[in-house]
Structure 1
Amino acid sequence: MKTHNKKALINIKVVPLERNKVIAGSSLLHNCIVSFWPCWLHHNNIKKMRGKPFSGKAIFLLILVCFLAGTLFTTHIWTRPATTVETAEPKATKLGCDHKRKLSEGQPGDVMEEVSKTHKAIQSLEKAVSTLEMELAAARRRSQNNNNYNRQKAFVVIGVNTAFSSRQRRESLRQTWMPKGKELKELEKKKGIVIRFMIGHSTTPGGILDKAIDEEAAKYKDFLRLDHVEGYHELSSKTRLYFSTVVSLWDAEFYMKVDDDIHLNLGMLLSTLAKYRSTPRVYIGCMKSGPVLYQKGVKYHEPEHWKFGEDGNKYFRHATGQIYAISKDLATYISINWPILHRYANEDVSLGSWLFGLEVQHVDERSMCCGTPPDCDWKARTGNVCVASFDWSCSGICKSVEKMKSIHKSCGEGEGAVWNVEL
């Protein structure tokens, strides 16, 4: 009986199936056998007790039926392709995961390459923004020039730098070398010389200081108000804005900046500038190369001294800040590019740096930095009348309010000299 049963079980052949089918079929067959076997043992024991053994063929057939049923059930349930779930995944998600996996599993060089690409992209964007700013500034300037197509023609525009506290200095100029009233207008019309005191506004617009300037401007009509907050440490910004403003208002051959404690001979100025009318990109003044002052607390201290080399080095050549002139094309260049022109602590250094890298002719005109008497007096007596006079020790005329009249008398070119100059 036992031998017959063993042979029946040994002779069972397993039909090869696909992986999923085999697993599922085997599981069902196992469940069928396991669930049937206790029943069969129990039934067989009963038969033994009754003396009628259970047939081995019946057992074999029952097992075979269970196996076939499992196979059919597996074929019905597991014939769906396993790739159905995979194909439902979005390709973008797979790509994103693959990209992240590559970054996480990649070599350090791969990560650095990605960082380098990002850095280059940022640099490219910054360059594009800078270019757009330049183009916008140029377009704004062209638009402004088109709106002011009837800009007044002039030979030279002279901006006299002044401050709220310099009322007496301005009066000393009006009483000496600077025309006023109808004579000022006549000078503009016939000689093309425009003279204006240039000043911004106070930190509290509309206050006492601004109202005082408004009253003075209404009386003399010789002011150019700038959209600028006045302050000693803001002279570079003021100079930059001055050139940008005057270019939009006057179409001149030269643009000048002069301090309000300088004595000027207008006739000699016209004659000197006229020599450079045909010279493109000319920068005229008393050229110097002073030391870069790195010590804190001293006058003219340069916070960015490290840009000029070791301690004790000197600046590049530039015109002294008391008086200088630039040609039309250079003033236009400043007007267009003002957003990216760097400002150093000292205004004359700033202007020099804006022009240093350009094809510019630097003219060291020593007649624009004569001393006060006896220097300018002696030169005037020998026929070498100075364009401008001041004291180097004071960066202007020392006590200019008290001394301007006497200097004008000793060093002046004479009344009416400017009207005799032919341009």
Structure 2
Amino acid sequence: MGLIPRSRHPKGGGGGVSIRWLSWLCIASFCLGVFVVERLWGTPDTDKLDKEVSSVEKRQELDPGLVVHCEKKESSLQAGDFLIQVSQTHDVIMNLDKTISSLGMQLAAARAAKTGNEETYPMFTKPGIEQLEHQKVFYVMGIITALDNRKHRDSIRETWMPQGDELRRLEKEKGIVIRFVIGHSATPDGVLDRAIDAEDEQHKDFLRLNHVEGYDKLSSKTQMYFSAAVAKWDADFYVKVDDDVHVNPGMIGSTLAHHRSKLRVYIGCMKSGPVLSQKGVKYHEPEYWKFGEEGNKYFRHATGQLYAVSKNLATYISYNRNLLHRYANEDVSTGSWFIGLDVEYIDDQSLCCGTPVDCEFNTQAGNPCGASYDWSCSGICESVERMQEVHQRCGEGDGAIWNANL
């Protein structure tokens, strides 16, 4: 009853009682720490606890001053151990969260791969078309092309895209898949569709979609591409590129390799262009009113000539494609699908170099660009005629893709 008044009294000899009070306070703190740790990591060991308390009491009888010093030290050690264990537990929880997220995405990918009705099935299959597989690869590059863009495709085949056995070797040895992404006409088995069949038979470098071609349907086609690619290949990354862009696949691989450990990453040249409300102009946005007052800009998104998304994001698009809104512009649509998600944006300007002299300067400096095109044309101007020139001046070299550290 006299303990507290004596320890607080400014005068008189309350020192011994004060030390005893502090000792018991340390003991109480120690016991509380043991109790919390045991509750978090296991069942309390009562025998061990009794021995520790008994040991403290004996030391208190011998030298109360020593007990205070020791108990402070022991309390500090206990607190340090406790914080270390809390940190370790936090790491375990974070790793578990990543594992759960990864498993969820794998489940979504499996569901997408097994979806078999015509309304939602992403791939267009015919007798002789390669069957569904789910290969593990590094990245899939889909080159978005149109039915009548044969010359665009040939200009790419003659420059930066390996052909025949080299294309298959690239998949096997480096885990890099490159395909032209194509749908079908509004009248299947028409002249254009038969021409694509013949071209596919010759080169075997198409990913055929269950999609009706049309410029106003590029957002839908992009969704369908990601869905088909996720269903067919288990990749770390999925890349979308237009068929009038020069690409260095080895540099693309090196760029993506830096972000391989990230769960949700969106890589490209980020921009925020104006929302065009005037009818009849290129890139007109019919839903301009959703973006605020006249003169506003879009949210930040990757320019559509080339961008990459990690596996989890591609799977998210695949699994939710019937719910995701599609704007008039494909790159805006893709960017909108990630608004509100925990996604890391990577603004990489090496994926949007200008054609010579811009990309040529980088190549001469030993750091070739991942992708090159002209902003004024939203691709390489007169790409069919100029792709060979750009490749000669800005290409990484035929052996670069095989020597790339992926």
TM-score normalised by L of structure 2: 0.69
CA contact (8 A) 2:356 2:394 kept: yes
**Gaps in structure 2 of 5+ consecutive residues:** 1-105, 116-130
- Is 1:202 the counterpart of 2:170 in the alignment? no
Deviation at 1:142, TM superposition (A): 3.5
- SS in structure 1 opposite 2:189? coil
**Structure 2: distance between partners of 1:149 and 1:413:** 33
Instruction: Quote the residue 1:374 is aligned against.
Output: 357
1:416 to 399, 403, 406: 399
Q: In the alignment, does 2:125 pair up with 1:142?
A: no
Secondary structure of the residue aligned to 1:396 is coil
**Does the C-alpha gap of structure 1 residues 242 and 366 become closer, same or farther in structure 2, counting only changes over 3 Å?**
same
Q: Distance in 1 between matches of 2:216 and 2:114?
A: 34
How far apart in 2 are the matches of 1:217 and 1:149? 16
Deviations 1:63-82 (A, max 9, x none): xxxxxxxxxxxxxxxxxxxx
**1:344 aligned residue (327, 331, 355):** 327
| Alpha-carbon displacement from aligned partner over 1:196-217 (angstroms, at most 9, x marks no partner) | 1001000111100000000000
Secondary structure of the equivalent of 1:340?
Answer: coil
CA distance in 2, matches of 1:310, 1:402: 42
Aligned counterpart for 2:297 among listed residues 283, 291, 314: 314
Matches within 5 A, 1:234-253: 234-253=217-236
Q: Which residue of 2 aligns with 1:122?
A: none
1:181 aligns with 2:149: no
Deviation string, structure 1 residues 233-252 (Cα, Å, up to 9, x no partner):
00000001110111010000
Runs of 4+ more than 6 Å apart: 146-149
CA distance in structure 1 between the partners assigned to 2:367 and 2:271 by the alignment: 22
2 CA distance for matches of 1:146 and 1:189? 24
1:61-76 paired onto structure 2 within 5 Å: none
Query: Secondary structure at 2:338's aligned position in 1?
Result: helix
Q: How many aligned residue pairs are there?
A: 287
- 2:219 corresponds to which letter in structure 1? S
2:238 is aligned with 1:255: yes
Instruction: State how far apart, in whole Å, the 2-side matches of 1:224 and 1:279 are.
Output: 27
Q: State the secondary structure of the residue aligned to 2:151.
A: helix
Q: State the match for 1:399 in structure 2.
A: 382
Q: Which amino acid aligns with 1:169?
A: H
1:141 Cα deviation after fit: 5.5
Indicate which of 223, 227, 242 corresponds to 2:206.
223
Give the aligned partner of residue 386 of structure 1.
369
Please tell me the root mean square deviation across aligned C-alpha atoms, in Å: 1.8
SS of equivalent residue, structure 2 residue 294: coil
Structure 2 match to 1:36: none
Q: Distance in 2 between matches of 1:400 and 1:143?
A: 39
Residues 147-169 of structure 1 deviation map (CA, whole Å, 9 limit, x = unaligned): 99961111000000000121011
Q: CA deviation at 1:311?
A: 0.4
- Listed one character per residue, the Cα deviations across residues 306-361 of structure 1 (whole Å, up to 9, x for unaligned) are 00000000000000000000000000101111110000000000000001110000
Match runs of 1:277-292 below 5 Å: 277-292=260-275
Amino acid in structure 1 at the alignment position of 2:167: L
Match of 2:196 among 213, 217, 222: 213
Letter matched to residue 110 of structure 2: R
Are the equivalent residues in 1 in contact too, given 2:268–2:306 (CA < 8 A)? yes
Aligned match of 2:151: 168
Q: Residue 137 of structure 2 corresponds to which residue in structure 1?
A: 154
Q: Secondary structure at the match of 2:322?
A: helix
CA change 1:314–1:379 in 2 (3 A) is same
In structure 1, which of residues 336, 339, 360 is the aligned counterpart of residue 343 of structure 2? Answer: 360
Letter of the 2:374 counterpart? D
Q: Distance in 2 between matches of 1:321 and 1:150?
A: 28
Distance 1:287 1:140 in 2: 28
Q: Deviations over 1:345-389 (max 9, x none)?
A: 000000000011100000001000000001111111122210000
Deviation of residue 277 (structure 1)? 0.2
Counterpart CA distance in 2 for 1:319 and 1:230 is 23
Residue 176 of structure 2 corresponds to which residue in structure 1? 193
User: Shift of residue 146 of structure 1?
Assistant: 6.2
The one-letter code matched in structure 1 to 2:276 is: L
More helix by share: 1
Equivalent runs, 1:78-93 vs 2, <5 Å: none
CA 1:307–1:139 in structure 2 vs 1: closer, same or farther (change >3 Å)?
same
1:143 Cα shift? 4.0
Q: Contact 2:327 / 2:333 at 8 angstroms: preserved in 1?
A: yes
**Residue 266 in structure 1 maps to residue 249 in structure 2:** yes
Measure the CA separation in 1 of the matches of 2:226 and 2:394: 29
- Give the 3-state SS of the residue equivalent to 1:258 in structure 2: strand
Whole-Å separation in 1 of the counterparts to 2:361 and 2:377: 21
Report the 3-state secondary structure (helix = DSSP H, G, I; strand = E; otherwise coil) of the residue aligned with 1:180.
coil
TM-score, normalising length: structure 1 = 0.66
Which structure's CA Rg is the greater one?
1
Contact persistence 2:112–2:318 (CA under 8 A):
no
Identity within the alignment, % = 64
Rate the CA distance shift 1:150–1:302 in 2: closer, same or farther, 3 A.
closer
Q: How many Å apart are 1:144 and its aligned residue?
A: 4.9
- Measure the CA separation in 1 of the matches of 2:161 and 2:398: 11
